[in-house]
Structure 1
Amino acid sequence: MDSQLDSHTINNVLLIAFHYPPVKVSSGVQRTLAFSRYLPENQWQPWVLTAHPRAYPSISDDQIGDIPEGVVVKRAFALDSARHLSCRGRYLDILALPDRWISWWMAGVIGGLRTIRQNKVSLIWSTYPITTAHLIALVLQRVTGLPWVADFRDAMVDDVYPAPGIRRRCHAWIEKKTVEACAAAVFTSPGAIALYRQRYPTMAENKWHLIPNGYNEEIFAEVEADMKPEAGKAGRALRLIHSGVLYPSERDPKPFFEAIAELKVQGLLSVERIRIILRATEHDELYQPLIDALCINDIVALEPGISYREALSEMLNADGLLIFQAANCNHQIPAKLYEYFRAKRPIFALTDSHGDTASALRAAGIDTCVALDNKEAIKVGLLSFISALEQGTGAVVSQTDANYYSRRAFTKNLGALFNQVIAAAK
């Protein structure tokens, strides 16, 4: 027996997610993609409801082949208000409430209802971001009465997002209705659960569930099998990699740049010793002038985005990996951290010691953390980290600890939660 369902029973679940191939994003797509891949192993057949590719800011075919065979994907009509409904770069606020993809809502509801009725769907699951995904699920739950599991990869409302005004009020309203209507709310970090417990103190304790982000072992194994030994690695400068978005307010690299500049002036860092690659920051226009002004463009390079598999290969070949996370995101853990764990490369984390990111690193045996905004601490910590790399003593995550964060294992937890929700609804 699997939970309270017969082990041979297959139940249908509607997965509502804006981010699904061919969208090109740094990490958000991987969670739903993995769930859709592994849920059938746990007696749940997924039916995916997502947006038409025209709505995505950018697309890539590099993960289309990762959509599991047998998973039906419904791509409902959707537009991006900023690109499709604007005039001279401006558009009405009502066309972006709760977000720029509100046009997905109506078609998503219609497509979702059709999928539910034609395939005897037993349960609805939706994931935020994007807010409209939860709005679609909220309507479907009210119309069908089906149990709903709401997934929060991030908090819908926090201290600085959305900015005060109608959009923030709209987010807060949808968040409240979501928490009230869903049978279970899933979060990716302990701090996020604590935040929502405090925000909604009257909710039952069994409302809240933790399923962290993770890594896709099959894709890592495929990348490793295709990797070729890097020529001349022993004679080159150490290479540190950060792969993904560097938000100015949540992952500001300015103190890091300043620390590197001072270490370079002091003769402690040089291009012969270290090379730092910041891949796909999405804010190069902000950071390149600063790098140039500090005269560290020989050490720090901003590089464009590459395919997911290429990014994993770059992680596996790096000498060290970088994480940036500000104290105002203490209840969040960057999804790439778990891919860093699986890459088993030393990690230098610029993050608050009291946050969930630092806690996850310590639990995995990594203690190379300094505050993102403390230039002096960065200088000391970075030199120590580089010295450990040069001596071959940089700490890496053990295979046992890395295995814990397999998305396949976490999908088993999700399937068990679905079973609990269905049993409670009977």
Structure 2
Amino acid sequence: MAMKRVLMIAYHFPPLAGSSGIQRTLRFVRYLPEFGWEPIVLTAHPRAYERSSDDQLADIPDGVVVVRAPAFDTARHLAVAGRYPGFLARPDRWVSWLPGALWAGRKLIKNYRPHALWSTYPIATAHLIGHALHRMSGLPWIADFRDPMAQDGYPANPKTWASFKRIEETTFKSATFRTFTTPGAVRMYRERYPESPAERTVLIENGYDEDSFVGLEASAASKGSLHPGKITLLHSGIVYPSERDPTQLFQAMSALLQSGRLNPARYVLRLRATAHDDWLKNLAAEHGIADMIELVPPLSYREALEEMLRADGLLVLQAANCNDQIPAKIYEYLRVGRPILGLTDPMGDTAGALRRAGVAGIAPLDDAEAIAAALADFIAQMQAGSPLPLTTEAVSAGSRRQRSAELAGLLEETLSPERPLAECRVLSPTLQ
């Protein structure tokens, strides 16, 4: 059977550094050929990235066509004295990617004649590109939202919120399928757009990539514990002031310290690549726990995975305002197999994913008393060497290869017998 092609529009792609969102597109690109689909990638020029690293470029399979269209970060490249017109950052600061991506996308469609289009949020401009190329070409389009888009109070700027809402509404009218990463998000959008067929709003969760762990476990074992003689609890990734606010955690640690139930000589909380180190440093000092907090800079992706393997425990932070979201790193946490402490709303999707995997240590992120109890119990289990094991089936089900098979299945569905490729407008007359 001949390989079919899909044009994938994604801002998050190597050499961008510091975003777990890279992994979703990168692993689809890696595994889709196993299921009969050849990816073609349309992404942004690296100048648009605030941080870049070459460490994952080697993970792009040989022979994959990757086109990097011109793009700028409005806040860094188009501002004067730190100010810029609002329209240059709507729907986001990378809207300058749009003109060059349309030109490059039309050329890719003409030269490679893909069978379908796929675009991925959270850079909203990607869906603008996907919609425009869909209209120009007539090709079926899968819009990967991942998480909810226009939410209550997000984005905070009313004009930006309105632009998000317009993109969301247009996408639901035009895309063949819309995919989300959590059950709550699927449920929310089926209720938000009841006029749209429910079966076109689909769940494809995030996951972990088994190939990324090759050799890491032996390397981690040879290096040993992050802090010999201490229990190290690790949070890997950005700590958002609203969505992952650790204030109540710090208050709980302070209470445990004052009551003698937390020993600074035996415990350390390592926060890796928070993007808000100054705020967290001051917050820790306010609560008198600075000696137990370790703020460390970003690592390469594989180094971050190895650090997870060397940690004694792994920390999840997720507020109730993100109940319909699951941090992508949770799936890597589960694959690592270390004990997990989940500070999140017990009713949210994050807590549900943790419980299905056998994680028992869950407390609301905004409840210092509950956190103190959960943290004290978690540390006691670490010291006793008796943490509850994770559920093997729940972990193995989260592989990126399995997620790619699910996406390939949706791509096949876009090519229904009622709409064969030969009858599609592969290029509109104005693009010939």
- After superposition, residues 345-384 of structure 1 pair within 5 angstroms as 345-384=338-377
How many Å separate the matches in 2 of 1:400 and 1:262? 37
The CA deviation string for residues 324-357 of structure 1, in whole angstroms up to 9 with x for no partner, is 0000100000000000000001000000010000
TM-superposed deviation, 1:322:
0.2
Residue in structure 2 matched with residue 334 of structure 1 by the alignment: 327
**Alignment check: 8 A CA contact 1:349 1:369 kept:** yes
How many Å separate the matches in 2 of 1:292 and 1:216? 38
**Alignment check: 8 A CA contact 1:338 1:405 kept:** yes
Aligned: 1:170 with 2:163: yes
**Alignment check: 8 A CA contact 2:12 2:19 kept:** no
Aligned: 1:402 with 2:395: yes
Partner of residue 144 from structure 1, selected from 134, 137, 141: 137
- TM-score, structure 2 length as denominator? 0.95
**Alignment check: 8 A CA contact 1:347 1:396 kept:** no
Aligned: 1:267 with 2:260: yes
Residue in structure 2 matched with residue 391 of structure 1 by the alignment: 384
> What secondary structure does 1:227 align onto?
helix
The CA deviation string for residues 120-155 of structure 1, in whole angstroms up to 9 with x for no partner, is 111000000100000000000001000000001221
How many Å separate the matches in 2 of 1:201 and 1:68? 40
Partner of residue 110 from structure 2, selected from 98, 101, 117: 117
Residue in structure 1 matched with residue 413 of structure 2 by the alignment: 420
Q: Are the structure 2 counterparts of residues 323 and 232 from structure 1 closer, same or farther at C-alpha, using a change threshold of 3 Å?
A: closer
Partner of residue 23 from structure 1, selected from 13, 16, 19: 16
**Alignment check: 8 A CA contact 2:213 2:305 kept:** yes
How many Å separate the matches in 1 of 2:260 and 2:243? 30
> What secondary structure does 1:209 align onto?
strand
Q: Are the structure 2 counterparts of residues 395 and 114 from structure 1 closer, same or farther at C-alpha, using a change threshold of 3 Å?
A: same
Partner of residue 159 from structure 1, selected from 152, 156, 160: 152
How many Å separate the matches in 2 of 1:31 and 1:412? 13
TM-superposed deviation, 1:375:
0.4
Amino acid at match of 1:11: K
How many Å separate the matches in 1 of 2:347 and 2:124? 28
Task: List gaps (5 residues or longer) in structure 2.
Answer: 421-432
Question: Which one is further off, 153-162 or 56-65?
Answer: 153-162
Aligned: 1:291 with 2:274: no
Amino acid at match of 2:170: K
Partner of residue 14 from structure 1, selected from 7, 11, 18: 7
Task: List gaps (5 residues or longer) in structure 1.
Answer: 1-7
> What secondary structure does 1:47 align onto?
strand
> What secondary structure does 1:423 align onto?
coil
How many Å separate the matches in 2 of 1:133 and 1:231? 42
**Alignment check: 8 A CA contact 2:256 2:262 kept:** yes
Residue in structure 1 matched with residue 37 of structure 2 by the alignment: 44
Residue in structure 2 matched with residue 5 of structure 1 by the alignment: none
How many Å separate the matches in 2 of 1:37 and 1:114? 23
**Alignment check: 8 A CA contact 1:11 1:45 kept:** yes
How many Å separate the matches in 1 of 2:227 and 2:104? 55
The CA deviation string for residues 48-93 of structure 1, in whole angstroms up to 9 with x for no partner, is 0000000011101111111111111000000110011000111000
**Alignment check: 8 A CA contact 1:55 1:79 kept:** yes
> What secondary structure does 2:167 align onto?
helix
Amino acid at match of 2:250: F
Residue in structure 1 matched with residue 308 of structure 2 by the alignment: 315
> What secondary structure does 2:316 align onto?
strand
- TM-score, structure 1 length as denominator? 0.96
Residue in structure 2 matched with residue 131 of structure 1 by the alignment: 124
- After superposition, residues 78-89 of structure 1 pair within 5 angstroms as 78-89=71-82
Amino acid at match of 1:400: E
Residue in structure 2 matched with residue 34 of structure 1 by the alignment: 27
> What secondary structure does 2:239 align onto?
coil
TM-superposed deviation, 1:233:
7.4
How many Å separate the matches in 2 of 1:422 and 1:123? 8
TM-superposed deviation, 1:179:
1.1
The CA deviation string for residues 358-385 of structure 1, in whole angstroms up to 9 with x for no partner, is 0111111112100000000011110001
Amino acid at match of 2:248: P
How many Å separate the matches in 1 of 2:388 and 2:171? 41
TM-superposed deviation, 1:208:
1.0
Amino acid at match of 1:185: R
**Alignment check: 8 A CA contact 1:344 1:398 kept:** no
TM-superposed deviation, 1:23:
0.3
Amino acid at match of 1:271: P
For the aligned residue pairs, the C-alpha RMSD in angstroms reads: 1.3
Residue in structure 1 matched with residue 424 of structure 2 by the alignment: none
How many Å separate the matches in 1 of 2:219 and 2:37? 32
How many Å separate the matches in 2 of 1:225 and 1:155? 38
Aligned: 1:325 with 2:308: no
Question: Which one is further off, 359-368 or 389-398?
Answer: 389-398
- After superposition, residues 145-294 of structure 1 pair within 5 angstroms as 145-231=138-224, 236-294=229-287
